[in-house]
Amino acid sequence: MSFVHFNRRSVIKMTAASIALAALPRAARAQQLSGTVRIWTFLSSEGQSPREVVLRNIIGRFTAAHPDVKIVVEPQPFQELETKFVAASAQKRAPDIIWMRDTFLDLVNQRHVLANLDEVFSDEFKTKVVPDLFPVFAEKSVFDGQRISLPLWPSPAQVIFYRKDALAEIGIEAPPLRWDEFIAAAGKLTKGERLGFGLPTNDNSVSSFINVLSGFGPSIFDPSTGQFDITGKEAQETAKIVRQLVQNGSLSPTLLNAMGDDIQDQFAAGRFAMVQAFAPRFQQYRDIAAAYDGKQLAVSAWPAFGDLPPSVLLGPYWTVGLSASSQNIPAAAAFLESLYTTEASLEWGKVAGLVPDRRSTLDDPFFSSPEAANIRTFTELLSAPGALTFPQRLPDITKVFPVMNTALQELIGTDESVDAVLSRAKSTLGW
Amino acid sequence: MSVSSSGVRLHPERALTSAARQAKLVGSALVGPALILVIAINILPAFYGFYLSLHKVFFFANEGYVGLANYAALFSDPFAWQAIGRSLLFTFCSLAIAVPLALLAAMGIRRLGRWGSLLLTVLLVPWAMSPIVVALLWKWILVPSPGGLVGALFAAFGRPPQDLLTDPMLAMPTLIAVGVWRNFAFATIILIGGLGQIPKDLYKAAAVDGLGALESFYKITLPLLAPSLLIVISMLTISYFNEVQLIIGLTGGGPIRQTNTLAYLLYNTGFVELDQGRGNAIAIVMFMINMALIAIYIRILGKQPGAAA
Q: CB-based contact (8 Å) between B268 and chain A?
A: yes
Look at strands A69-75 and A35-41 and give their pairing: parallel
A329-354: pLDDT as tens digits: 999 999 999 999 999 999 999 998 89
Q: CB-based contact (8 Å) between A90 and chain B?
A: yes
SS3 of chain A: helix, strand, coil, percent, to 5:
50, 15, 35
Per-residue pLDDT, averaged over A278-294, amounts to 91
Minimum mean pLDDT range among A161-175, A381-395, B81-95:
A381-395
Share of chain A above pLDDT 70, in %: 93
Across the interface, whether the CB atoms of B252 and A257 are under 8 A apart is answered: yes
Across the interface, whether the CB atoms of B145 and A87 are under 8 A apart is answered: no
pLDDT of residue A24: 44
Q: CB-based contact (8 Å) between A93 and chain B?
A: no
Across the interface, whether the CB atoms of B255 and A86 are under 8 A apart is answered: no
Radius of gyration of chain B (CA): 26
Q: Is the pLDDT assigned to residue A312 strictly greater than 90?
A: no
pLDDT of residue B176: 98
Across the interface, whether the CB atoms of A398 and B59 are under 8 A apart is answered: yes
Domain residue spans of chain B? 2-53, 69-308
Per-residue pLDDT, averaged over A306-328, amounts to 92
A residues 190-209 closer than 8 Å to B (CB): 193, 201-202, 204
What rounded mean pLDDT belongs to chain A? 91
The phi-psi region of residue A330 (left if phi > 0; otherwise alpha if psi is between -120 and 50; otherwise beta) is alpha
pTM (two decimals): 0.85
Enumerate the residues of chain B whose CB falls inside 8 A of the CB of residue A255. 144, 163, 166-167
- Cα–Cα dist B80/A374, whole Å: 46
**Domains in chain A, ordered, with CATH?**
33-148+317-382 (3.40.190.10), 158-315+390-429 (3.40.190.10)
CA distances from B186 to A384, B87, B235, B302 (A): 58, 21, 10, 22
With 0-12 CB in 10 A as exposed, 13-18 as middle and 19+ as buried, what is B204? Answer: exposed
Shortest distance between the Cα of A365 and any Cα of chain B, in A, equals 40
CATH architecture of B69-308: Orthogonal Bundle (1.10)
Please name the member of A107, A259, A410 whose beta carbon is closest to the beta carbon of B252: A259
At residue B62, φ and ψ (nearest 5 deg) are -80, 110
Q: Is the pLDDT assigned to residue A174 strictly greater than 70?
A: yes
Q: CB-based contact (8 Å) between B146 and chain A?
A: yes
Closest by CA position to A176, among listed A196, A192, A157: A196
pLDDT of residue A16: 52
With 0-12 CB in 10 A as exposed, 13-18 as middle and 19+ as buried, what is A232? Answer: middle
Please name the member of B139, B145, B255 whose beta carbon is closest to the beta carbon of A256: B255
Please name the member of B139, B160, B256 whose beta carbon is closest to the beta carbon of A413: B256
Largest CA distance in chain A: 98
A189-244: pLDDT as tens digits: 999 889 999 999 998 889 999 999 999 998 999 999 999 999 999 999 999 999 99
Shortest distance between the Cα of A409 and any Cα of chain B, in A, equals 6
With 0-12 CB in 10 A as exposed, 13-18 as middle and 19+ as buried, what is B101? Answer: middle
- Cα–Cα dist A207/A398, whole Å: 12
Q: Is the pLDDT assigned to residue A8 strictly greater than 80?
A: no
Q: Is the peptide bond before A135 cis (omega within 30 degrees of 0)?
A: no
Enumerate the residues of chain B whose CB falls inside 8 A of the CB of residue A291. 146
Q: CB-based contact (8 Å) between B73 and chain A?
A: no
A16-50: pLDDT as tens digits: 555 444 444 444 455 579 999 999 999 998 898 88
Q: CB-based contact (8 Å) between B147 and chain A?
A: yes
Q: CB-based contact (8 Å) between A24 and chain B?
A: no
3-state secondary structure of B58: strand
A391-424: pLDDT as tens digits: 998 999 999 999 999 999 999 999 999 999 999 9
Task: Name B8's Cβ contacts closer than 8 Å, sequence gap at least 6.
Answer: none
With 0-12 CB in 10 A as exposed, 13-18 as middle and 19+ as buried, what is A256? Answer: buried
Q: CB-based contact (8 Å) between B78 and chain A?
A: no
pLDDT of residue B309: 45
Report the first-to-last Cα separation within chain B, whole angstroms.
Answer: 39
Disruptive mutation site among A104, A194, A207, A257 for chain B (greatest number of B CBs within 10 Å): A257
Enumerate the residues of chain A whose CB falls inside 8 A of the CB of residue B265. none
Please name the member of A90, A291, A409 whose beta carbon is closest to the beta carbon of B255: A409
> Are the beta carbons of A96 and A328 closer than 8 angstroms?
yes
| pLDDT per residue rounded down to tens, chain B (309 residues) | 445 545 556 566 677 688 888 888 898 899 999 999 999 998 999 999 999 999 999 998 899 999 999 999 999 999 999 999 999 999 999 999 999 999 999 999 998 888 888 888 888 899 989 999 999 999 989 988 767 788 888 888 888 888 999 999 999 999 999 999 999 999 999 999 999 999 999 999 999 988 888 999 999 999 999 999 999 999 999 999 999 999 999 999 989 999 999 999 999 999 999 999 999 999 999 999 999 998 998 888 776 655 554
Across the interface, whether the CB atoms of A255 and B59 are under 8 A apart is answered: no
Q: How many CB atoms lie within 10 A of CB B176?
A: 22
Please name the member of A254, A270, A409 whose beta carbon is closest to the beta carbon of B146: A270
Enumerate the residues of chain A whose CB falls inside 8 A of the CB of residue B59. 83, 86, 107, 110-111, 398
pLDDT of residue B298: 85
Could you tell me which residues are beta bridge partners of residue A74?
A40
At residue A76, φ and ψ (nearest 5 deg) are -130, 155
3-state secondary structure of A353: coil
Q: CB-based contact (8 Å) between A399 and chain B?
A: yes
ipTM of the complex: 0.83
Across the interface, whether the CB atoms of B252 and A265 are under 8 A apart is answered: no
Enumerate the residues of chain B whose CB falls inside 8 A of the CB of residue A252. 163
Please name the member of A86, A254, A257 whose beta carbon is closest to the beta carbon of B59: A86
pLDDT of residue B14: 72
Disruptive mutation site among B59, B139, B265 for chain A (greatest number of A CBs within 10 Å): B59
Enumerate the residues of chain B whose CB falls inside 8 A of the CB of residue A270. 145-146
Across the interface, whether the CB atoms of A90 and B268 are under 8 A apart is answered: no
- Give me the half-sphere count of Cα atoms (radius 13 Å) on the Cβ side of residue B187: 30
Q: Is the pLDDT assigned to residue A387 strictly greater than 70?
A: yes
Could you tell me which residues are beta bridge partners of residue A161?
A275, A299
Across the interface, whether the CB atoms of A254 and B166 are under 8 A apart is answered: yes
Across the interface, whether the CB atoms of B143 and A111 are under 8 A apart is answered: no
Please name the member of B165, B257, B273 whose beta carbon is closest to the beta carbon of A398: B273
Q: Is the peptide bond before A402 cis (omega within 30 degrees of 0)?
A: no
Shortest distance between the Cα of A194 and any Cα of chain B, in A, equals 9
Q: Where are the beta strands (DSSP E) in A67-171?
A: 69-75, 97-101, 142-143, 146-147, 150-152, 158-163
Across the interface, whether the CB atoms of B145 and A256 are under 8 A apart is answered: no
- Cα–Cα dist A128/A115, whole Å: 20
